[in-house]
Structure formats: C-alpha cells, structure tokens
Structure 1
Amino acid sequence: MEYLFMSLQSHSKKTRWQDYLKSGNRIFIGSNAAVPNALIDDLITNSAQLHDIEAVHILTLSENKWAKPEHQDLFKVNAFFIGGNNVREAVAEGRADYTPCFISEIPTLFKENILPLDAALIMVSPPDEYGYCSLGVSVDIISSAVKAAKYVIAQVNHKMPRTNGHSFVHINQIHAWIEVDQQLPELPAPVMDRVSEQIGQYTSMLIENGATIQIGIGKIPSAVLHYLANHKDLGVHSEMITDGILDLMLSGVINNRRKTFHKGKTVVSFCLGTQRLYDFVDGNPHVEFYPSEHINSPVNVAKNDNMVSINSAIEVDLTGQVVSDSIGYQFYSGIGGQVDFIRGAWLSKGGKPIIALPSTTKDGKISRIVAHITEGGGVVTSRGHVGYIVTEYGIASLIGKSIRERALELIRIAHPKFRKQLLEDVRKHYWVPTYQDNSPTSVPELGAIELKKFTFDKLEYTLRPLSPADERKLQEFFYSHNKETLIMRYNHYARQMTRESSCKLVSVDQHKDLALCFTQRNALGEEIHAVGRYYYIESNNCAEVAFVIRETKRGKGMAKALLNEMIRIAKIRKLNKLIACVRRDNAPMLKVFESAGFIRTYSEELDEINLAVDLSDAQETKTSEKKENT
C-alpha cells in the first residue's frame, strides 16, 4: 500500500490503480457532485486488458462515460438510482441494470457482502497535517463503500471542500491515487413557475415554526424554501442541501436551535448546487456531513420532533399509493431516500410526511392523480406511509382517512378537467357512493392557492372552500353543537345529520353557490370550527347567507371574517345583493350582519328578521358619497 504522509507532493512514487483492478471486478463510483471523472477517464484510457467490470453507484452528476454504448464491453452498469447523462438510456435499452433499495440500506449490501466491492473509486480533498482527506460534498454511501471495499482508489482534488462531520478518510485507507483538480459540477437554482410556486405555498403552510425539514432539489423544493423565508427557528436533517438552504441559514430562518437531534447543526449526507454552496460548506462548523446509514435511518430521522419530510412523485393513485421511480415499465429514477424520510417523519413526534407534485404532466394532458397506477408502475411509498399529498390545487390530508375519503380528498386537489372522470372511475369499484354526485369545484376569488390564513385569539386558522372530502368533518362539526345552536341555525332542534345529508351539504357547485369554512389542524387532522355559505337565487341575482360557529370559538371574529369574505366574493361575482333570515332572539348574529351593513327588511314571520345588503355599483357609489359628506 502506498502510504501518504504530510503531502501528496512529497511522494516520488504513486501506486498505480492498475495493480488493483482486474476483469470481472465490482467497483463503486463516487456519488452526486463527487464523481472522480479524471480517474474514470484514466481507467478507460488504460483499460486494454480489462472487461466486464460491474460499476455500481447512485446518482452521479457527470457525463457518465462508463454508461456509453462504446464502453459496454468494459463496464456493466448497476445503478441504485437512475439519473444523469447516459445512465437512464442504458437502463431503458437493457445495457444497464437497476437495483431498487432504500438508501439507508445500501451500506448493508456492501458490509454484508451481498454486493461485495473489489474497489471504491472516489474523490477526496488533499490530506491535512494529520493525514486525513475529506470526502467533501458527498459522504452518503461513499463512506460505507470505502469501509467495505478491498481497495480504495482516489482522485485527489484540491477544489474539493473539506466538510465537517463524519466525512474523513485517512491516507492509510487509500491504496492508489491520482492527483487531478477538477471543478465540481454545479446545479443552478431552477426557475420557478406558477404551478411550483403554488405548491410551494401550500407545502410551506404545513411547516410550523421550529420544525426540522428534509427536502430535495428541483422547482418544487426551491419554491417551498422560498416561502419559508418568514418562518422561525427551522432545523435541517436532510439527505441533501441546496443553495436554498444556504440562503435560509444566512437569514437566520434555519438556526437548528429547536432540533432534538444534532441540535444546533444542519446535518446532511451530500450537497448539490452552485460554487457558492460548495464554498459555504467548506470548513463550516454549522453544517455536518454524515453517512447515509446515519442520516437516512428512519429511527434517527424520528429523533427530530416535528420532522417534516418533503418528497415528490411521478403519480399518486386515489388510495394514496405513490409511484416515484418509474413511468409505467420505464424505470426513471430510484427509491432513494423517500421511504426512509417518510417513515422517519411518521415516527417523529409531531412529524409530517409530505408528497408534493404537479397535478398534471408538463403538457397538461395527463393527470398525475390517477384512479389506478399506470401498468408497469411500481409503488415506492405505500398508501400506509402517506400523510399529505400537495398539488397546486391544495393539500390532501390522508391521515386516518378511509379509501372513500382519500379518493375524495385527492380528487379535490387533482386538475379540475380530470375530476369528473376520476370520480366516475372510482365509482366503478364502489369506493364512492352514488349520492356523492359532485366533484370538487374551485373558488378562484380566494386567490391562487384558494385559502387564507387568519389568527383569532393568537391561534392560526385556515379559511378555505368546503369540499366533498369534508363529509365526515362536517358531521363531526354538526354533532359538536348544543341544542340552542341547532335551533338558532336550523330554526328547529335538528337531531341528526346523516352521511347522505352531510354529503349533499359539502357537494357544492362553488361557481354558483358558495361554502367556506374555518379549519384548524391538530394531531388528529383537520377540524372545522365555522361554516359560512350562500345559496344563489338566479331570479334576483342575489344570494341568501347563513353561517354557524362552534360554541367554543364564538366572539373571536370568525363570523365577521366569514361574512366579509362572502360579501367580497359576491361583489366580484356581480351579485345585486345578499339577504339573510335570522331568528329575532339571535342577538349576536343580528349584530354581525348589521355591523357588515345589512339593513332590516319586512318579514311576515314574527319570530324572524329579514336583512339585506345592496351590492350594486349604484348603491356603493351612494354609500361612498355619504361617507365623504360625513
């Protein structure tokens, strides 16, 4: 073994890698931004006597020359994760293999000699004064490959950052080396579009202050990080970090103060981004790199309270099954760390496992929320693992939901043009009853993400449209009322709300009528605290308003906020007026209406009072002039 002491330059002789490789070997190739390209080039150039070398690796940000057709006699590629140039094509054409495995368990394949490694080809920084080289920007499964391989062959790169954590390899572990500098590959921040921005907004709403996050790379992760700019005290325990994480650390949003595992540190297994990110992690004591078996271990992930895992998918079926490594029969990427972190978030106290994806393919022609998985597609994350699915149309909470409820939740966040067909498809399997006759409709007047955040009595609530998936929640809301509330709302003591009647109340054509609710998320899911609706009367171009508030939430401003929002939407829709009918003894409700400008009108019923507010342009002009004169 060539023993590297204080400096590589001090050696007059370098052991040749050719002394350690032979035909039929299995080699490991360094990951992500740490591919030893110069070493690979040298191997290809001097490989006249070598054949059938099995090359195993995960994602490699490289030209991936070993996967080119002209080198198929030299290399047999076996990818744990498919991506980058040439590898996906090689797998699709049958020249390369794909081995599905959780990232956290790949090290076991090496350690237990299930896939014994003859050599690990890696990239490292130069050794320090103590003889330690750093694996730099990618520790991930490289660390386990170094420990398990018979021989370690390194490309020493002076441009490789020295990262902290468990990222070091001593020179006595390296058997052969070449010293070639190369610029690390960069991934510029993706340009966000409207869809990814909306998904980012929705996802950020699921992340509480003080949470610890795991997130990947791409448009959606970038959008999520963008919308976390006003959060506080976030932590990071993630397979990877990008420039977006860097920005949040510099702004103080990510400070890791409230983490319960590796407190005070951002912990990762690799990073991908621009040179700015690579410079940021170089010697940074606040960012520590650990092997995948540590970072991706679901048990370790779960040691972080309020762990939020954010991953993506190719398609999700209406039961919650997630396909993320294949498009039909074509393998596209890999299992990666998705299940590791989804499971870890589930086990975490207050954790949230999230799958975020666009509702359609790029051209908008194919729904990614599907009635059944595309033939050949494989489930990576099971329906039992999923917590939340997010698209640009909202958040579907699947926690504790039946198949019927899941289907309705997911149809609600599918693209509107596919909702009717999805509903028809699930009916074929009796998942959704026939009395559920409406697919969800949108309320664009609420804004791009169709919900708003309100704070009442220092607690945060969400204002959003009522949807068919709320059938059970509305039932629970109904049965939370006392006798007095039921009499005030329905003008008689209503004792029952059947599944069928609840279903009719949540199956609203929101383009014509309007039904909004205030909800709050807790450990048990989402709870309705207030419902406001109006019913459109076409003959007079007006609507009748009604709402009800949970007894424990009254007097906090919910009724006023609901009514103001309904008035605002009615004006946008050019309604002439809104009317209401209130029991004479319901003084609080009368006060809410009259404070909003409703005026009492004639009523034939002695125990009821009719009210109305004029929304016409003429009335608004008259009101404005009156205010000015006053």
Structure 2
Amino acid sequence: MQSVVSQFNNKITWHDLLQSGNRIFLGSNAGIPNALVDSLIQDGKGIKDIEVTHIGTLSDERWALPEHQGQFKVNTFFIHGKVIRQAVDEGRADYTPVFLSEISSLFSDDILPLDAALIMVSPPDELGYCSLGVSVDVVMSAARSAKKIIAQINPKMPRTAGHSFLHISEFAACLTHEQALPEVHQAPKTDIYERIGQYVAMLVNDGATLQLGIGKIPDATLRYLSKHKDLGIHSEMISDGVIDLIKSGVINNRKKTFHPGKSVVSFCMGTERLYEFVHNNPHIEFYPSSYVNKPTNIAKNDNLVSINSALEVDLTGQVVADSIGHDFYSGIGGQVDFVTGATISKGGKPIIALPSTAKNGSVSRIVANITDGAGVVTSRGNVHYVITEFGVASLKGKSIRERALELIRVAHPKFREELLASVRQHYWVPDYQTKFPTDVPELGELQLKEISIQGDTFYLRPLNPADERQLQEFFYSHTKETLRLRYNYIPQGMSRQNSCDLVSVDQTKDLALTIVNQQGSKIAIEAVGRYYLNPDNTCEVAFVTRENQQGKGMASRLMKQMIDIAKQRHISKMVAFVRSENKPMISVFEQFEFKRVFNPDPAEVELVLFLEEK
C-alpha cells in the first residue's frame, strides 16, 4: 500500500499536526479511520503520550496494543473489543463512565479539550461537503470542538442524511484511502433469545417509536414485529433488522410525534446491505448523540419503547450493565438516556431484556445482591419491565417485596428457591409465600395468548404468585351477588395470605387461568377460570368474571382453553356445580356440551362433560 503520509499536502507532516501530550479523538463504531491510525503509528514516531479518546470501535484496536503504549494512552468512554478491554484490565487504558448524551459536553466545555479529531468521511460532493456517513454519534461534536480535524476520505463511506456534513475546507489535513467498512452479521437464532424477542414484541403497540441496539435481543424482537403497524425509529443506532420492516411499511414513522416521517439515529452497524440501504436514503436521518440521546428529545416521541440489556439485575430492580464485578466490560452508553426518555414519554415503556442465566446456565443473571465491585447503571426507580425467556416482570409501582417476587418469577427455575431464601435475609417476605410459578406447557412456550374481545386486547395466561395483589383487588371488585353465586355464600374478606394461596397453584396438577387487561404497567384481572383435579382423574371447574366484563365471552374463552388442556392431560371428566339462578354461567357450560345430571339440591345444578370414552 502506498504510504499514507505522501497523500497529505507536501508541507504537512504528523509533527506539524500533533505534539507529544496532545489529546485526540478517534472516530467511532464502523467509522474508524484505520489508514490515519496506521500512518500516525508509522510516521508519527517521536510524538509520545498521545491521549486517545473514543467510544465503541469496530476495529482491531491496534493503537491500544502493548507495543504502542509509549505513543498512545487510551481513555475510552465505552469498552467494545478485547484489546481495549485487556488494556483497561492491565491499566494501560482508562475507562471514563459517562452518558452518551453528555460526551459532547466533555469536549465543548474543555473538560477534555481536544487537540485533534481523526475521523472518516465520504468523498466531498460538488459543493465540497463530506458526510460522516454511518457514524455521526459523538464524532460531529468532537470535530466541532477539536482544534484540528484530520480526515480520511473513504470512497466506500455512505452519504447519510441529517446533521452529518462537514466541509472539506474545515480539515487541517486529509487523505483519500479506500477502506471496506467493518461488518457485523446477525447471530444465529436460539430458542432463548427468540422467546425473549416474542415477549418484548408483545409490549410494543402499533404506532410505537422504538429504540433498539444491536445483538441477539433486538434482532429477535424485530422478527416478531412484522404484523405491527405504523412503527417509528428514534434510536442511537440501527442494524440490519430494520431494513425489511422499513421496506414492508411496518416502520413508516407515520405516528411519530418528533421528526414524523423520519427514522432518527446517530449511527448504524451491520452488513454491507445496511450500509447500502442508508446511502443517500432521505428517510433515515443521522444526528449527533447529544441530540438523539437527549432524554427530553427522546420523550418528545409518544409511546417510546426503549429496549436495553443488562449483565445482571438484582431483586430490587437495579441494573448492572457495564461491569462484571470489578472488571469493566462495556460502558454506560445510551441506556440511561433512553430509559429516562422512555420513562417520561407519554405511554413510554423502558424495557430491560436479558437471558436468565450466564456461563452455560451455571449462573443466574437475576441476583439477590449485586456482585461485589459491580456498579449500577440504571437505578431501580427507572426500571419498568425486566424480561427473560421466562416472562415479563412488571416493576413500576411495585414494592420491594413485590418486585422481588416478580423478578424471581422470571428467573431460571433452578435458582428461584435460592433467590427467595436470599431475599428473606434482607427484606420482609411473609412465611406463607413459598411457592413458585409452574408452567402450563399446553399454552405454548410463552405461557401467554393475546386475545381480542369486542375490539379490546387482553391476555390469557396462568395465574402465578406475583398476581397476589391483583387477585385480592379482583375479589373486592365483586358485588355481593357475584360472590354469592360464585362461592354459594358471601365471604367476608380476602386476606393477602388467602390470595397468595389462590394464586400459588401447582399447575401441573390443578389449573388456574386468568384473562388480564394490561395497559403498560397497569394490570387488572378480568376473569379467572380454575379446575381442581380429583383423585379419580376427574376435575371440578369454576369461573368468575368481573361484572363490567360479563356477557362478553371471557368465560367461554377460558372454558375452551381449559377443556383443551384437560383433554391433553387425559382427564376423564369435568364437573361443575352452579347456582340454579346463575343462568348465564349454566349457559356457558351447556354451550360446551356439559350435560345436567341429577342433583338432590334444587338450588344447585350439576353439569358433567365426559372427555374420554367410558
């Protein structure tokens, strides 16, 4: 390869541009100017102790190798690759924690003044303007604050729309060197991540605006959004997963309340297909992170759904995302920016999604106590939803005890007993709360079905121990007449202990299903259906529906599902005892071919459905 330095203006050398002890910024993500780095290493010998600042870098990170430690000292705001991570671990590099939205102020406020910004740009247009292409993020802010801009003009860098342009006259020096952009390919599908993606997708309503990252969880989530409508993008980054949704019209930004009609991002990482897709694409606009990640700007998008991950979450909802114990692994990045923005967005949903275990299932990522040395990135007050492959834990408005039970519910089953024992050491959990949710595999892998009733959306799922308070509220919503018809007498109350007993069901034996109305973090039980298994392999069935939902078919939905499950479990007969004046409930049973049989009590009707041949 031709020496890069010869492509500079003949009167300019690295010694003209930089001095020992200078601080420089190095372009981000897929926009690393490797040719400039190589030239500086080769032709800038004698310039020592250069502080190199940057965020994530898709590169071999050669500047952080031990052999260059006399020339460079790295100060990174985000740890991405193995070389930087090792340099931080060994003390040859520093990690500075900072919100992505605030990095620009470190430069502009001279907290970390920059002597130069080494960046990659597209070739200039006929007016002399170069685009920062796939990586505007903090690069634009660094370029505007640095005393000198040194640019690598890469013919393969896409031209992107938005606030991405610098004029070639602003460069103190530049060179033209073609460089293929680094590619990030989608990871193979796995059952765990597919299930997490399905749960996340169920929290995304039509018309929502999305913040996505890169990796298995965003990729899986996007695969389950193909039937959604009018989605938008306001995200620090995008990857290949958005392309087909944009082309199909699922993502059209039509319902966005901030930059309507446009996907707003600050950088992208993916394959050549993505880079070609954003090239001269007026529908995707790139802006600096100081703008995209500003929480008040994020919140201008109604129904903003932020999807972020974590290394571990403790039972109070604290999120660890940048370190594994004392070892720094990544960085704060934009998680807190978007969690905060989604929290104050009208209808917003901040989501933390992660697998329930690490290290091949040997370690729980839902933990009783944060690992010694680990730091909290997102506070317990900001977390609304935590999702694992075992479900969705809704934390907003939950007490510490309720949060712990919700999070134990979505932890891996083999760690639940240990987690409950651990939480009892620090927080009050009543002795009667000892049971954990059990699966109803006949409902499918998600244990959840979205149903539509008279145009409204509800969810049919098993009752579980975390429903204790909701069931108590459901009970106290009933009129005395409903209680009398359901229980044959009027119960005087429903204590939390009684409610706990009713939701802590061994679903492998008995069955307890519910239909819930869930609007964000607000959950209301609308109907409950149960059967109790008898020793003779028959079961007794009962239902109760909230008064304002009666007559809409909820009992029928539950009945159909329970019959199907009972058949799969080879139960021989279902039996129901109904007050004779409860005509609507009798009608539901007879609709499913339950037959009346003799009952000596005239106030009660006994109905039977044979599921297997006698």
TM-score band (shorter)? over 0.9
What code does the residue aligned with 1:346 have?
Answer: T
Cα distance in 2, alignment partners of residues 162 and 125 from structure 1: 6
Per-residue CA deviation, residues 107-146 of structure 1 (Å, 9 max, x unaligned), is 0111101111111110011111111111000000001100
Kindly state the Cα deviation for residue 85 of structure 1 after the two structures are TM-superposed: 3.8
Cα distance in 2, alignment partners of residues 497 and 351 from structure 1: 34
The one of 352, 364, 374 equivalent to 1:377 is 374
Cα distance in 1, alignment partners of residues 431 and 505 from structure 2: 16
Counterpart of 1:581 in structure 2 is: 577
What code does the residue aligned with 1:33 have?
Answer: A
Cα distance in 1, alignment partners of residues 146 and 518 from structure 2: 49
The one of 546, 550, 553 equivalent to 1:554 is 550
CA contact (8 A) 1:325 1:335 kept: yes
> Quick check: 1:520 aligned with 2:520?
no
Cα distance in 2, alignment partners of residues 527 and 323 from structure 1: 31
What secondary structure is seen at the aligned counterpart in 1 of 2:574?
strand
The one of 322, 326, 336 equivalent to 2:323 is 326
Cα distance in 2, alignment partners of residues 610 and 17 from structure 1: 93
Counterpart of 1:312 in structure 2 is: 309
What code does the residue aligned with 1:345 have?
Answer: A
Cα distance in 2, alignment partners of residues 14 and 453 from structure 1: 69
What secondary structure is seen at the aligned counterpart in 1 of 2:56?
coil
What code does the residue aligned with 1:289 have?
Answer: F
Cα distance in 1, alignment partners of residues 283 and 165 from structure 2: 17
Q: 1:503 to 1:100 in 2, by over 3 A?
A: same
Counterpart of 1:3 in structure 2 is: none
Counterpart of 2:134 in structure 1 is: 137
CA contact (8 A) 1:464 1:516 kept: yes
Counterpart of 2:390 in structure 1 is: 393
Kindly state the Cα deviation for residue 362 of structure 1 after the two structures are TM-superposed: 4.6
The one of 591, 605, 609 equivalent to 1:609 is 605
CA contact (8 A) 1:423 1:439 kept: no
Kindly state the Cα deviation for residue 10 of structure 1 after the two structures are TM-superposed: 12
Cα distance in 2, alignment partners of residues 84 and 315 from structure 1: 20
> Quick check: 1:296 aligned with 2:293?
yes
Correspondences of 1:455-494 after superposition (within 5 Å): 455-494=452-491
Counterpart of 1:125 in structure 2 is: 122
Q: Normalising by structure 1, report the TM-score.
A: 0.95
The one of 90, 94, 103 equivalent to 2:91 is 94
CA contact (8 A) 1:35 1:122 kept: yes
Kindly state the Cα deviation for residue 11 of structure 1 after the two structures are TM-superposed: 9.2
Q: Normalising by structure 2, report the TM-score.
A: 0.97
Correspondences of 1:334-373 after superposition (within 5 Å): 334-373=331-370
CA contact (8 A) 1:17 1:153 kept: no
What code does the residue aligned with 2:135 have?
Answer: S
Counterpart of 2:433 in structure 1 is: 436
CA contact (8 A) 1:17 1:176 kept: no
Cα distance in 1, alignment partners of residues 375 and 428 from structure 2: 22
Counterpart of 2:3 in structure 1 is: none
> Quick check: 1:65 aligned with 2:42?
no
CA contact (8 A) 1:15 1:177 kept: no
Cα distance in 2, alignment partners of residues 254 and 278 from structure 1: 18
Which deviates further from its counterpart, 570-579 or 271-280? 570-579
What code does the residue aligned with 1:79 have?
Answer: T
Cα distance in 1, alignment partners of residues 40 and 164 from structure 2: 25
The one of 182, 197, 202 equivalent to 1:205 is 202
Kindly state the Cα deviation for residue 12 of structure 1 after the two structures are TM-superposed: 6.6
What code does the residue aligned with 2:333 have?
Answer: G
What code does the residue aligned with 1:113 have?
Answer: D
Cα distance in 2, alignment partners of residues 366 and 610 from structure 1: 51
CA contact (8 A) 2:349 2:520 kept: no
Counterpart of 1:84 in structure 2 is: 81
Cα distance in 2, alignment partners of residues 602 and 94 from structure 1: 83
Kindly state the Cα deviation for residue 172 of structure 1 after the two structures are TM-superposed: 2.2
CA contact (8 A) 1:411 1:440 kept: no
Cα distance in 1, alignment partners of residues 53 and 212 from structure 2: 25
What secondary structure is seen at the aligned counterpart in 1 of 2:302?
coil
What secondary structure is seen at the aligned counterpart in 2 of 1:520?
strand
CA contact (8 A) 1:577 1:612 kept: yes
CA contact (8 A) 2:8 2:174 kept: no
- State the aligned residue count: 609
Which deviates further from its counterpart, 222-231 or 577-586? 577-586
Q: RMSD over aligned Cα, in angstroms?
A: 1.4
Which deviates further from its counterpart, 170-179 or 453-462? 170-179
Kindly state the Cα deviation for residue 13 of structure 1 after the two structures are TM-superposed: 4.4
CA contact (8 A) 2:118 2:151 kept: yes
CA contact (8 A) 2:8 2:175 kept: no
CA contact (8 A) 2:7 2:176 kept: no
What secondary structure is seen at the aligned counterpart in 1 of 2:420?
helix
Counterpart of 1:627 in structure 2 is: none
> Quick check: 1:165 aligned with 2:162?
yes
Kindly state the Cα deviation for residue 221 of structure 1 after the two structures are TM-superposed: 0.5
Cα distance in 1, alignment partners of residues 117 and 24 from structure 2: 6
CA contact (8 A) 1:419 1:440 kept: no
CA contact (8 A) 1:132 1:168 kept: yes
Kindly state the Cα deviation for residue 16 of structure 1 after the two structures are TM-superposed: 3.0
Cα distance in 1, alignment partners of residues 32 and 384 from structure 2: 35
Which deviates further from its counterpart, 605-614 or 30-39? 605-614
> Quick check: 1:593 aligned with 2:589?
yes
CA contact (8 A) 1:156 1:179 kept: yes
Kindly state the Cα deviation for residue 18 of structure 1 after the two structures are TM-superposed: 3.1
The one of 530, 537, 540 equivalent to 1:541 is 537
Q: 1:121 to 1:570 in 2, by over 3 A?
A: same
What code does the residue aligned with 2:32 have?
Answer: V
What code does the residue aligned with 1:567 have?
Answer: I
Among all aligned residue pairs of Structure 1 and Structure 2, give the percentage whose two residues are the same amino acid.
Answer: 62
Cα distance in 2, alignment partners of residues 110 and 511 from structure 1: 60
Gaps of 5+ in 2: 1-5
Cα distance in 2, alignment partners of residues 165 and 406 from structure 1: 42
Cα distance in 2, alignment partners of residues 430 and 40 from structure 1: 53
> Quick check: 1:259 aligned with 2:256?
yes
Which deviates further from its counterpart, 12-21 or 350-359? 12-21
What secondary structure is seen at the aligned counterpart in 2 of 1:198?
helix
Kindly state the Cα deviation for residue 521 of structure 1 after the two structures are TM-superposed: 1.5
Cα distance in 2, alignment partners of residues 530 and 264 from structure 1: 40
What code does the residue aligned with 1:230 have?
Answer: K
Which deviates further from its counterpart, 375-384 or 88-97? 88-97
Per-residue CA deviation, residues 163-211 of structure 1 (Å, 9 max, x unaligned), is 0100001122210112111000011122111001000101000000000
